[in-house]
Structure 1
Amino acid sequence: MPPSRRRTRPTEHEEPEEDSTQLTQENGNGSAEEATGDEGSESEDPNRAADEQLAKKLVRYTLSCEYSRTPIRRDGIKERVLGNQGRAFKRIFALAQKQLRTIWGMELRELPVREKMSLQEKRQAMKSNVQPKTGSGAYILTSVLPAAYRSAAIIAPSRIPTVEAEATYLAFYTMVVSLIWLNANELSEPKLMLYLTRLNANKNVASEATELTLKRMERQGYVVRKVDRPPVGHEGENTVTWHIGPRGREEIGLDGVMGFVREVYGESNDDLEKKLRSSLGIKQTREDADGDTIM
């Protein structure tokens, strides 16, 4: 009698073939997903690295422009830094700002739009239906360090051309901008020359002629020289007035002017602060009975 063939049952320690096959497939899918993820990260890294390099290039460009006090213009950034990556301006600009703040203690700030100075310009602006510009498209580097680290003992003037020449120029343009600001943002040329004569600076500023120094300040955006000519057919002399330039407003600002005046007077008191705020057009603040601030 032939032996009967009996179907063997899997023991408890044995696993079904179906489960092992399914596990193998799952492991295969997992490996494929990991490989895809690695490829994705590898493809993202070059783009990120390229952006970082462009941001570093932008930082170098801004530092070189600031060294010569040249406005950093958006068109210049696109032309000299971004090239054919002009659409990436916002992304690269944000990365450069991060590097400037965390490493250099500075940031890029947009210069204000040039104000309408003459009465004719203001009337034309009122009649025009064109939307006024909200930004100038030009930037400068400013410090973001705490005030305690901005003292002259820590941040000394540039050594080029010399420390003395740079310190003299910085003091001169700070003084001129402060004088214009204290005279309601407009100073006639005869009055400016009167101030400079009293300071023995009407002819020379250190080793440079005063006229050349004022032209350099105008070129770098600290001041604006406005010439008003008499109407056609009328006789008369040109009227020259000096105004604060975009760089003067952003770099020096009201705080710089007030600090300059306090330094000149040597000490601050209530009477000085009251006159200073009045000259600068700053509204006085006071507190009511509840302690709320009233303008």
Structure 2
Amino acid sequence: MPLVRGHKRRAQPEEDIDAPSPEPATQRRRASPPEPENEVDGDNDGGYRSDTLATQGNSTLEQLVKKMVRFALACEYQRRPIRRTEISEKVLVGGTGRQFKNVFAQAQVELRRVFGMEMIELPAREKVTVAQRRAAQKTAASQSQTKTAASWVLISVLPSQFKNPEIIGPAAIPSETEESKYAAIYTLLISLISLHGGQLPDSKWERYLRRLNIIDTTPVEGYDRTDKLIKRLEKDGYIIRIKERAGPGDEDIYWIVGPRGKVEVGDDGIRGLLTSVYGELDDEKEKDLDRRFARSMGLTEKAPKRPEAEQAQQTQGTRPAYADGEGEEGQDDEDGEGSDDE
């Protein structure tokens, strides 16, 4: 049988199979997508940076406000004033001193909103002695140009109905009992000084301590000796002991209310103490108590003096105003004599 020879098919080259059909040059150019990203990024670069800086600035302010609130609470825990210089050293560090106003204002908002408190500026210490007044006059010009560093303390801004002791008790540091003893003593002493015209002579001061049975010892834990407790009251700013030379070998000693005492207790605290002591009164007695309280505190205008009263004052000299019923010094020097109603 004859062999049949078939023709072999030649394999086409791979390039002929895989190579696509040529396309027009215009289609290839259209297929390449445009790349405008670089231009867009360049246009929005400034806005992105500004947003980033704003976010960083808000974060920095927030952190400073938190530090300010913590610092204020820590100072109040120790009954220390919140001094402007310490804020600059411990809160506004690293070149953030220019943000004091913003940080302080925002910290006030947070203290009111979260804790029901706010920072109030302490009054300047009074210049009561002759030497202090002369020094103040000499430095009056320089003080007008350079503002003195301020200091603040925290006070409650809660409504009066929420300040009831049955709702909010004394602080638990070191304990409610000891804190209530300390608060009662400084409130009473501040009230006595204020009701004597703001200045209480040392002789009367000792007599009141004797009547309160704290002339030598006190019931406050850790302050068994009275002199130790008095030093703490002075350190905390509730009272100030003034010593003034009255002549050769003679000096006058008296007590005044300190800056913290004026802010923390104030006229309202003294009036509240009187109300708790006298209890419920009828309308007539209530008005009489208000009138005597205002007169002792110097809240009313002085009545015109009579000629004989002016002459007596010129011969005797001026003296601190005393509470009702005490009048002249020595009129009630002995215990049990005189009237110390207020």
TM-score normalised per structure 1: 0.79
Q: Where do 1:21-100 residues align within 5 Å?
A: 36-84=46-94, 85-100=96-111
Q: Where do 1:37-186 residues align within 5 Å?
A: 37-84=47-94, 85-126=96-137, 129-130=140-141, 137-186=150-199
Shift of 1:41: 2.3
| CA deviation string 1:124-146 (max 9, x = no partner) | 43465426577651110011111
What runs of 5+ residues in structure 2 fail to find an aligned partner? 1-37, 302-342
Residue 265 of structure 2: which of 252, 264, 273 is its match? 252
- Runs of 4 or more, structure 1, over 6 Å off, are 28-35
Q: 1:33 to 1:180 in 2, by over 3 A?
A: farther
The match for 1:215 is 231
Q: 1:254 to 1:281 in 2, by over 3 A?
A: same
How many Å separate the matches in 1 of 2:42 and 2:276? 70
- The amino acid across from 2:299 in the alignment is I
- Asked whether the 8 Å contact 1:109–1:140 carries over to 2, the reply is yes
Q: How large is the RMSD of aligned CA atoms in angstroms?
A: 2.5
- The amino acid across from 1:235 in the alignment is G
How many Å separate the matches in 1 of 2:47 and 2:161? 48
- Asked whether the 8 Å contact 1:177–1:248 carries over to 2, the reply is yes
Shift of 1:267: 2.6
| CA deviation string 1:220-274 (max 9, x = no partner) | 111111112355xx233x4221111111111111111111111111135111111
Aligned pairs, how many? 256
Higher mean Cα deviation, 201-210 or 214-223?
201-210
- Asked whether the 8 Å contact 1:114–1:246 carries over to 2, the reply is yes
2:197 pairs with 1:187: no
Q: Which has the larger radius of gyration?
A: 2
Q: SS at 1:47's partner residue? A: helix
How many Å separate the matches in 2 of 1:255 and 1:38? 55
What runs of 5+ residues in structure 1 fail to find an aligned partner? 1-27, 285-295
Higher mean Cα deviation, 125-134 or 80-89?
125-134
The match for 2:277 is 264
- Asked whether the 8 Å contact 2:121–2:152 carries over to 1, the reply is yes
- Asked whether the 8 Å contact 1:110–1:135 carries over to 2, the reply is no
| CA deviation string 1:67-100 (max 9, x = no partner) | 0101110000110111121221111111111111
How many Å separate the matches in 1 of 2:273 and 2:137? 35
Q: SS at 2:242's partner residue? A: strand
Q: 1:29 to 1:105 in 2, by over 3 A?
A: farther
The match for 1:23 is none
- The amino acid across from 1:78 in the alignment is S
- Asked whether the 8 Å contact 2:241–2:256 carries over to 1, the reply is yes
